A and B are shown apart, each in its own frame.
Chain A
């Protein structure tokens, strides 16, 4: 049954054209709208392909053999792509190739999306300033996008994706080139965005466990587990070869459990766990 309040993926399989092996095999997953979903897995797991399907790049711009069904709330990337795209922000793995190349300045690059949405010039002014402040690009607004460092380019790519205030944000490894402060600030900032569904692919398992409401774990194109970070991390199998957060490593070694064989995966859970131990 389609539910307007959740993301649901139903028996999704995909094979790229000119390729004989399927990249995704019979994936089914759900998550409520307006939550943060972390997508984890190693290379060849199908994370990028899944992002492309969620954003409608597949099948609207890249061809292949797609079966199954995807619903993002009331919309579907296969059936109502233009309407969905209007409400979606996307950040590619390679931020440099995401830029229009038609802007002399960072400000113009960010304004590009607003112009496309038909936003009035006075409003553009306001929104660009606001988003540049959020992503610490204010000092770079008048500079050429070509002069930015890798981390700044990633922040610019994110700025262009969020400036239109999308209801759905799809981020494919958006922090790989950021320095630690930039990355920490970015993950903290994700938690304060309201009324937005965020799907984020990342190798930063520690940060994901701090902020994600749910994790989807892909191994070789199959969704092997989904649930809260606490569930997914505690149920990892060694042959999936997934790294664990430091909180979990620490708690496990010190045997600070949250009850039956369940170890905390983020700082809050660890705090709660230690508090309970002291009070009993």
Chain B
């Protein structure tokens, strides 16, 4: 089980007043979502978790090792990053080479690489277009490819920045299934998102950021059971809650339509 621990972490940009301060945050659950309004500090926290940007004070420990001390190769094996905009993370001539490039950073055996590439392309359903240039792909395909490049390395921790953006419905389902699968295989999956419906349906734990501070840590149902807090941090409850409270006057917590159905078919 991987544990990520942030101790007294702070970061501020030289050019703005914004400051991120996290006294204590421990992430041990397999599926963690980080949420918050625009400008709450999500992207800053994300960049710190990638290990590519260091906090000015405090440290980030991964299984008790300081993230800043990892060698580049160890960092790759530890943290896989899926950025929001896939078009700026693809730079090889074909889909196949794109995945192979990532693998070649830590693996030198060509046969192993070839086998692994074929395997992950099948997982994300891109086998048929493996010879295409990544630039000719549609947005969802690019995103799936960028996920494949990380899957190939098989890191302990997966970081996703807004994974649902620019995906269509079938690819959203595919990515969600993949993330759940990774979590079941004891990887830690962390996602930044502003999609409350997806969050409510998918994650077991959420950390809420507002004004650069953690305002809530816990299960989605616990967060959405506190409407004042949800409002104060600038979030909205899942859509099903607004529908049910609007139409039926029922203001209890429901995470998905299926959740409502389950709770009401029992009696």
In the complex, A271 Cα to B245 Cα: how many Å? 11
B interface, by DSSP: helix, strand, loop or mixed?
A: helix
Q: What's the least CB distance linking A15 to chain B, in Å?
A: 15
Decide: B240 and A250 in contact? CB cutoff 8 A: yes
Decide: A267 and B38 in contact? CB cutoff 8 A: no
With beta carbons under 8 angstroms apart, the residue of A177, A180, A243 that contacts B196 is A180
Decide: B240 and A43 in contact? CB cutoff 8 A: no
- Residues of B within 8 A of A (CB-CB), count: 36
Decide: A246 and B239 in contact? CB cutoff 8 A: yes
- Residues of A within 8 A of B (CB-CB), count: 31
In the complex, A206 Cα to B257 Cα: how many Å? 13
Residues on A with beta carbons closer than 8 Å to the beta carbon of B172:
243
Decide: A249 and B257 in contact? CB cutoff 8 A: yes
Residues on B with beta carbons closer than 8 Å to the beta carbon of A152:
38
In the complex, A253 Cα to B170 Cα: how many Å? 21
**Given that A180-B235, A249-B257 are known contacts, is A203 also in contact with B168, CB under 8 Å in the complex?**
yes
Decide: A250 and B138 in contact? CB cutoff 8 A: no
Answer whether residue A122 sits at the interface, using C-beta atoms and an 8 A cutoff. Answer: no
Residues on A with beta carbons closer than 8 Å to the beta carbon of B246:
267, 271
Decide: A274 and B247 in contact? CB cutoff 8 A: yes
Decide: A253 and B261 in contact? CB cutoff 8 A: yes
Interface string of B166-179 (1 = CB under 8 A from A): 11111110000000
**Given that A180-B236, A203-B169, A253-B261 are known contacts, is A270 also in contact with B38, CB under 8 Å in the complex?**
no
**Given that A43-B139, A250-B261 are known contacts, is A206 also in contact with B169, CB under 8 Å in the complex?**
no
Interface string of B143-175 (1 = CB under 8 A from A): 000000000000000000010011111111000
In the complex, A174 Cα to B259 Cα: how many Å? 30
Decide: A151 and B38 in contact? CB cutoff 8 A: yes
Decide: A42 and B39 in contact? CB cutoff 8 A: no
A interface, by DSSP: helix, strand, loop or mixed?
A: helix
Answer whether residue A247 sits at the interface, using C-beta atoms and an 8 A cutoff. Answer: yes
| Chain A residue, CB-CB nearest to B167 | A203
Residues on A with beta carbons closer than 8 Å to the beta carbon of B235:
180
Chain A residues numbered 169-192 whose CB sits less than 8 Å from any CB in chain B: 176-177, 179-182, 184
| Chain A residue, CB-CB nearest to B138 | A43
**Given that A203-B168, A241-B169, A250-B257 are known contacts, is A179 also in contact with B247, CB under 8 Å in the complex?**
no
In the complex, A44 Cα to B128 Cα: how many Å? 15
Decide: B243 and A267 in contact? CB cutoff 8 A: yes
In the complex, A242 Cα to B169 Cα: how many Å? 6
**Given that A152-B38, A179-B38, A180-B196 are known contacts, is A250 also in contact with B243, CB under 8 Å in the complex?**
yes
In the complex, A242 Cα to B170 Cα: how many Å? 7
Answer whether residue A254 sits at the interface, using C-beta atoms and an 8 A cutoff. Answer: yes
In the complex, A136 Cα to B194 Cα: how many Å? 19
Q: What's the least CB distance linking A44 to chain B, in Å?
A: 6
Spell out A's residues near B (CB within 8 Å): 41-44, 149-152, 176-177, 179-182, 184, 203, 205-206, 241-243, 246-247, 249-250, 253-254, 267, 270-271, 274
Spell out B's residues near A (CB within 8 Å): 37-39, 138-141, 162, 165-172, 194-197, 234-236, 239-240, 243-244, 246-248, 256-258, 260-261, 264
Can you list 7 A-B pairs, Cβ within 8 angstroms, ordered by A? A151-B38, A180-B235, A246-B257, A249-B258, A253-B257, A267-B243, A274-B247
